[in-house]
Structure 1
């Protein structure tokens, strides 16, 4: 059974499901997906995500603010606020946080401070932090090291081996999205091959980045097995082995203290 460690359940295109996210989750289960982590990009996302998680034993969620949100939204994410929101047992992680200089370099200091606060909250509640990085790999690694963050996921990984090794050495797990299945992503597959099997996770990042053969279409959790298939080819494992390995890795991550 597969786990989608990063899906934006509040942002899915639910047109095929008459607007019902529960039907989308049911379809994913039919595809073999047995666990879902819904991701927050704004502090208020915890409200609908908690309602979804309350209806489904196999759904957990995160609390946090994405680095592409505005300065006012990031400022609301104080360490104390994040700790308070993370108390529920259905909150599995903090984030998605991190640094994104691709979309904006106007508020770098605010991004860094917000990222650090998420790490502090993560450490306080003993739950992993979900990290986004784009065009900011060096600063991302520097903050993870400086804050002594050892419990987290570098999600939707697209960086080089140097970056992978740096976060692996800190204790992080690395999560691959549908990008790893793209024909033009051989460099990424070469990096993935060097990542220890006990630190690999899979995700859809839905509704974005649908894997081959659905590239260019709207993504959803039921497509996460295609990410596992791409990695099974990288590691020369069966699809069933890849499903078991990544599920076990996620369980180990959540059990870390």
Structure 2
């Protein structure tokens, strides 16, 4: 596949140990495939320092950070500390995320309530900071969409549903909001559920992501990387009968608009 001129990976975890130890090579391989921006994602307070360090070291990297729903239920979570640090570095983070609900990993009802409390707290904070949010909702699509549609959250600058695989009715409701978008992960290359979502969504609502080092495009790949967005582009192009160049151009435009990238 020819190298396309400009592609953005809207969600990757470059500070994950499997990628961080070879981050120079990961970035070089990505750039060879036309990747011009990688949005690196932190999931807890401890991720501030490595995210900021990578952002300064590599211009290709832009950062977002939030308290991931699995981290939200840890006994040592300190939301105030997180918010205070975010305020100090708000210009260096494009969005608050990933935040949300995870009912697959968190089954206890009392912990789910606490997780929802942290989610709401971060949504309030996003409005205060006027930052868009990147949403993780696994086995909790109904609850997450219901919360995001509450009137008090109508002032969110933008909502990005990360790796969303919710039911059709929640997709339909999400598409009613002009400033809500979806990411399609590299697993779309072989996973039917991601392919069905990609076919359902208009290209004007899609961004591309790897979720590296997870959700690899082929089961035999041990580690996912931003360079593998080429597989997503190839598959989505086939599914939607849109040229690869147009897939890259439109999804890149969507990403720049959502994250206010120059």
TM norm structure 1: 0.88
Matched, 1:179 2:187: yes
- Contact 1:67-1:74 at 8 Å conserved across structures: no
Matched, 1:84 2:87: yes
Taking the aligned partners of 1:157 and 1:95, their CA distance within structure 2 comes to: 14
- Contact 2:19-2:213 at 8 Å conserved across structures: no
1:28-67 alignment to 2 at 5 Å? 28-67=30-69
Tell me: CA distance 1:162–1:205, structure 2 relative to 1, closer, same or farther (3 Å): same
* Helix, strand or coil at the partner of 2:251: helix
Tell me: CA distance 1:243–1:14, structure 2 relative to 1, closer, same or farther (3 Å): same
Residue 169 (structure 1) shift? 2.0
* Helix, strand or coil at the partner of 1:13: helix
Residue 153 (structure 1) shift? 0.7
| TM-align CA RMSD | 2.2
- Contact 2:38-2:60 at 8 Å conserved across structures: yes
- Contact 2:68-2:98 at 8 Å conserved across structures: yes
Taking the aligned partners of 1:222 and 1:159, their CA distance within structure 2 comes to: 27
Tell me: CA distance 1:8–1:77, structure 2 relative to 1, closer, same or farther (3 Å): farther
Residue 91 (structure 1) shift? 0.7
Deviations along 1:108-141, one digit per CA (max 9) or x if unpaired, are: 1111111112212222222211100111111111
Tell me the matched-pair count: 249
- Contact 2:13-2:213 at 8 Å conserved across structures: yes
- Contact 1:79-1:118 at 8 Å conserved across structures: no
- Contact 2:12-2:40 at 8 Å conserved across structures: yes
Matched, 1:167 2:174: yes
Residue 61 (structure 1) shift? 0.7
Taking the aligned partners of 1:77 and 1:237, their CA distance within structure 2 comes to: 46
Could you list the runs of 5+ residues in structure 2 that have no partner in the other structure?
1-5
> Corresponding residue for 1:11?
16
Tell me: CA distance 1:141–1:64, structure 2 relative to 1, closer, same or farther (3 Å): same
Matched, 1:203 2:205: no
- Contact 1:35-1:59 at 8 Å conserved across structures: yes
Taking the aligned partners of 1:125 and 1:219, their CA distance within structure 2 comes to: 32
Could you list the runs of 5+ residues in structure 1 that have no partner in the other structure?
none
